[in-house]
Structure 1
């Protein structure tokens, strides 16, 4: 049987997840009797931790607010997960590089030897693949300020860069930073990009804002009431919203075409770094880029839609070449070389 102190740390780790554990589950996971499990709960209480009893069906124990600040208690799998996560944080957030390195050093110092070996085996250098359509790392201070307003449920005043966005009736739309007051409801990370799902009370509508367009976020202190979220929830709303502030990624080859598909559908499946603009209820303009004209033509083909207003001429030429090769491939018998192929 493990020592009382070791069991107390294990119990604290279990309760720190926020879960409610039955007495039977605590005893089973600690490998002790129900009576010994109760004594271990009392040990934590004597040390200053608030372990609340939960009565009724499915009751048990849970860690309550207040009391002593729990030490960082992680099992070996959690330690390895944290170590790997700290190595990759700087790929999506600016301003946390040194903090991440210091946190990783601190955790590594207190790791058991076996966990340290596992974490060291997963040391990695993060190099984004171009197919990931990487976005610039975001300022951690912006995420912190916006996230605090989301948690506190208070209105947020911010400057939003609307440069190169199509006008939508807002004063100053498409003309650079514009001050907006919003009710921040959720932060969503999708395709390595941060989005804020917010409600604009002045316009009585939901909006999706790219956080890398946000500057000077300031909580007003004015609380807002909870509203029914858009159908499908915040993640689905971000994915199907064409006007979410996306910018065209700086690829060597960029072009656009009008598709016979609704903008929300194309917005859901467009790669990161693409821009979707509705031109009718069932048509939209898709702008995106790739490392070559042939690669860009291939991306458009994946949508399986008739194409119109294709720009520029280089993209139209790439479609013509691809059409010839695809037709030849369709006609070639099995195993025969495709004309024009590598």
Structure 2
């Protein structure tokens, strides 16, 4: 690599690390004259990097967003995907990388065209995070279509296959995307059923924004609504259990996608969780390793007695 090429790359790194640099500051950092700085800035512009120059007090060189994405070895879809992932990581969902993700995101966002930046913002603004990164794949086009529809309050049509395998056509008012540790969900108002729904994105097909808009309704809290929908609504038995341990202790066993946990004073919490079989639920309820009390329903209370007696017989001589 020639000395000039190396210096140009070093200049690009400096421009990405701070909002504004004076010509004198850049010349000092690069060990060249201000005239050389001007030539190197021209080279960056030829490569597609929009370097703006201003004079007067507080003026200098600034890297801005251009009409096209500068050479980053990323196509537009890759740039959007990277920015979305960086926003999630910068939010602290990936331990130890938040600060680095935020720095990388600031550099990428600084040079992204407005069109791509708006797509990233659409996903971010329309998403509530309940857990870690998703494990069930979702088509990027489905995600982007729903994100834009949430942002613009646009009607959507889609095919949907429910938990029983029944296929239906849905006319929806989309409000919020919610991620859990495994899947993406859409909180929406189903126009045909005249009620709120939580739909899994991986069960949706032929998602299409129809071009008409709706007046937003008073909405339930998206995170709470989806959490209840996936932890209790699908199950015939929904247990409410008081644990005699702080919320943070119990939360180490139950994820946000598997149970609804709320504090009940400083040293206790209430957990709401659903299951198909009361007796099979009991060993799972005992996993936090602290005292607990099943409050309801009667079927689960009776199941505790049955399972406790069965375990007691297992240790008798």
User: What's the TM-score, normalizing by structure 2?
Assistant: 0.49
